[in-house]
Amino acid sequence: MNIDDIKREFPIFDDKIQNNDLVYLDSANSSQKPRVVVDRIYDFYTKEFSNVGRSVHYLAVAATNLYEQTRVSVQKYINAKDKDEIVFTKGATEAINLVANTFGQKYLSEGDEVLLTELEHHSNYVPWHFLRKAKNIKIEFAEINDDGEVTLEAIEKKITNKTKIISVSHLSNVTGAILPIKEIIQLAHSKNIPVLIDGCQGAPHLKLDMQDIDCDFYAISGHKMYGPTGIGILYAKKKWLEDLPPYQGGGGMINEVKKEGITYGELPNKYEAGTMATAQVIAFNESIKFMEKIGIQNIEKHEKELLDYGLEKLRKNNSVNIIGNPKEKGGVISFTIEGVHPHDIATILDEDGVAIRAGHHCCQILHDKLNLPATARASFGVYNTKDDIDKLDDAINKCKKIFNL
């Protein structure tokens, strides 16, 4: 595949940003959007718009078909068994909240344990914390090792007979560690514990096969997969979606509404209350097609090359300290520079058009463990090149110069 051609499909790179060529190294935060996705939103609103699933006029039927086509595309992309196992949400955060809320309502009570890991994003901790408050459940954290990984053994150590659900990241947005999710799921299932995978960082970069990994729930963020904001996916095994109570109430999710009682709609409508992010869902189909066209194996290979090149380059740069050293690692390099705070690094890099993120990346538990208030993070997408990494390295050197290092 030719990265220059791929990059040209992203309009953001057409123009200079603050007089610089954009070196976008913040894809773990949110990816840029290819033209096909942006155009799809425009075309839908200008030529095809209608609400879905309600009216019988031509536009409504056409929009409903488009909306459902995305569901089928997602189903195929992640190899789910049934299209009804795909629930659209406003993001991965809502997907995790949906599970925490409904599973919590039905299956968690005082003293029960939810097992997370120390490297979880806040969106895979705070929803469970609500249950700690409301139901007096306990939250356990599987520990990271010195390489910034969570091993199967670390998970096993924290499983007790009170563990009712395990919810872990596929790929850490800080250390880049890829967790052994298939093994974790096998272990959990051998003890009858369901597993939710926070796939925010997994889905854009790794091959997904729901039937192979056999997880119970998998949360996906659309905007990190070259898709629009405002769309996420909850994959859940059908038995769970049938078994768990609805999440939000409103139009579209009901079967029959009477003064004396309400029955809920069939899947997948049961979990899609109110008017959904229709245009975004329809445009997300283009994101899936875009990724399929390149091929996830090619994306993985490209990002691995970038990662290896980036690690080699930054390791050679004195005073750069790379956070974590996982054996299985995705395209994320978090680092610190001795003597320069990450926010100062980010501001100085930005001056040269190098966009990175600085802070705790919504992982305060992990940063506390690492005893670091903040880190700087460069993360890759399909459009990045080795030249981007060279520019990152140059900008880091400029940073050191300003701080007289």
Residue 362 is among the residues annotated as catalytic for this protein: yes
Beta bridge partners of residue 115, listed in sequence order = 140, 166
Answer yes or no whether residue 16 interacts with other proteins by CB under 8 A: no
296: Cβ–Cβ under 8 A, 6 or more apart, which residues? 206, 207, 208
Among candidate residues 215, 362, 363, 399, the one labeled active-site is 362
Rounded distance between C-alpha atoms, residue 386 and residue 394, angstroms: 12
> Quick check: 351 binds other proteins (CB under 8 A)?
yes
Q: Does 373 bind other proteins (CB under 8 A)?
A: yes
403 interacts with other proteins by CB under 8 A: yes
Query: Would you call 165 exposed, middle or buried from its count of C-beta atoms within 10 A (0-12, 13-18, 19+)?
Result: buried
Helix (H, G, I), strand (E, B) or coil at 170: coil
When binding is defined by CB under 8 A, the residue of 228, 246, 342, 381 that contacts other proteins is 342
Q: Does 250 bind other proteins (CB under 8 A)?
A: no
Between 263 and 404, CB nearer to other proteins = 404
- Residue pair 79/209 in contact (Cβ under 8 Å)? The answer is yes
Q: By CB under 8 A, is residue 339 in contact with other proteins?
A: yes
Q: Using the rule CB under 8 A, is 48 a contact of other proteins?
A: no
Rounded CA gap, 235 and 75, in Å?
A: 9
Closer CB to other proteins, 351 or 390, in the complex: 351
CB of 379 to other proteins, least distance (A): 17
Contact call for residue 21 and other proteins (CB under 8 A): no
Hey, how many other C-beta atoms are within 10 angstroms of the C-beta on 95?
31
Which three-class secondary structure state does DSSP give residue 290? helix
With binding defined as CB under 8 A, does residue 347 bind other proteins?
yes
CB neighbours of residue 313 within 10 Å: 17
Residues 59 and 395: their CA atoms lie apart, in Å, by 51
Contact 375, 340 (CB under 8 A): no
Task: Select the span of 84-92, 202-210, 275-283, 333-341 touching other proteins (CB under 8 A).
Answer: 333-341
> Candidates 40-48, 61-69, 267-275, 337-345 — which segment interacts with other proteins by CB under 8 A?
337-345
140's enclosing H/E stretch is: strand 138-142
Single out the residue of 325, 364, 385, 397 in contact with other proteins (rule: CB under 8 A).
Answer: 364
Is 321 one of the binding residues for other proteins (CB under 8 A)? Answer: no
SS3 34: coil
Task: Determine the size of the site formed for other proteins (CB under 8 A).
Answer: 20
Are the C-beta atoms of 71 and 52 separated by less than 8 Å? no
Residue 170 interacts with other proteins (CB under 8 A): yes or no: no
- Residue 343 binds other proteins (CB under 8 A): yes
Smallest distance from the beta carbon of 23 to other proteins, in angstroms?
17
18 binding other proteins? (CB under 8 A): yes
C-beta separation of 33 from 13 below 8 A: no
Give me the residues that bind other proteins (CB under 8 A), please: 18, 339-344, 347-348, 351, 358-360, 364, 367, 373-374, 402-404
Catalytic residue IDs: 362
